[in-house]
Structure 1
Amino acid sequence: MNRKENIKTSVLFVCMGNICRSPTAEAVFRQQVKAAGFEHAIHIDSAGTHDYHVGQPPDERAQRAAQRRGYDTQKLRGRQVHERDFEVFHYILAMDRANLAILERECPPQYRHKLGLLMQYGEGFSQGIQEVPDPYFGGNQGFEHVLNMVEEAGRGLLNRICNEK
């Protein structure tokens, strides 16, 4: 990454309630960015399209799965996407098409180019793996699967951001 400018790149991960997938993606990407030495250059956050869990910590199952891999989600709290997010963030990445559609409806036209799916940065995207499934109503294996997916996509996203700088 070229450090010629002082502008931080900002990334917002979005799912429905901001207690499973998007905080997991935030924690994973935060650690990937820190390991690469770019925490000073990339701002990371997460939010939900719905207000179901505003102010709440991530789902306990998501926290346990993340903790087993060394990711810290304990301080994260759910929040809903705000209108200002569309202006502030450079990347606004939904976990699935349903949440992307909500973002597309709410996003002012001049910022729609910032929207996308997180998995578009994963290696499996070209083979049709385009969405991070919601593990909320499933078992622990769903949370492990989400971690695998966001780790892969996070590496691709970090590579993309580094190549843009």
Structure 2
Amino acid sequence: MKKVGIVDTTFARYDMASAAMNELKRLCSVKFVRRTVPGVKDLPVASKFLLEQGCDITMAFAMPGAEPIDKQCAHEASSGLIRAQLMTGKHIIEVFVFEDEASSDKELAELADKRAREHALNVYRLLFKPGELEKLAGTGQREGGPDAGPLRR
């Protein structure tokens, strides 16, 4: 059975990890290993640890704030997640929702839930149906919001 690592933070204001796990349970049968860390910059080491402990893929969830320092920390965490992927040769699906992406708490919660679920679908496809991703190449998919659509010549 495939193992999916789930890493989230106490800093987030929405439980995106549970939304993604519920979506994956709906799509397939996988085992989850979950770790919760304090903040966004703790995601890379926790994700790498889970991959080294036998997870096939990891999802890293965070909800950085709207301040410039929050965006800088998110960028540093993202760089760390990329480095951890290269070190392990396995995917870490980054699921970040910034607090200034929505104008109300309700909108932010809806965005976080939708983005988490749509990235869970990507995890499912990476693990079990990579051909579906190939069919979507160049189609302008956007997780959490409306798809941009393909460009036409």
State the TM-score, normalized to the length of structure 2: 0.51
Following the alignment from structure 2 to structure 1, what is the Cα–Cα distance between the partners of residues 117 and 3? 19
Maintained 8 Å contact 1:94/1:100: no
Maintained 8 Å contact 1:20/1:135: no
Matched pairs, number: 113
Percent of aligned pairs sharing the same letter: 7
Aligned to 2:150: none
The reply to whether residue 35 of structure 1 matches residue 5 of structure 2 is: no
CA deviation after TM superposition for structure 1 residue 87, in Å: 0.6
The reply to whether residue 103 of structure 1 matches residue 119 of structure 2 is: no
Q: Which residue identity does 2:20 align to in structure 1?
A: F
RMSD over equivalenced CA pairs, Å: 3.9
CA deviation after TM superposition for structure 1 residue 27, in Å: 0.8
CA deviation after TM superposition for structure 1 residue 93, in Å: 3.0
Maintained 8 Å contact 2:60/2:94: yes
Stretches (4+) displaced over 4 A? none
- What stretches of structure 1 of length at least 5 have no aligned partner? 1-6, 53-79, 119-131
Aligned to 2:145: none
CA deviation after TM superposition for structure 1 residue 154, in Å: 1.6
The reply to whether residue 91 of structure 1 matches residue 84 of structure 2 is: no
Maintained 8 Å contact 1:9/1:90: yes
- What stretches of structure 2 of length at least 5 have no aligned partner? 63-73, 131-153
Maintained 8 Å contact 1:100/1:115: no
Aligned to 2:12: 19
Following the alignment from structure 1 to structure 2, what is the Cα–Cα distance between the partners of residues 44 and 18? 20
Residue 162 to residue 49, structure 1, CA distance change in 2 (3 Å):
farther
Q: Which residue identity does 1:133 align to in structure 2?
A: V
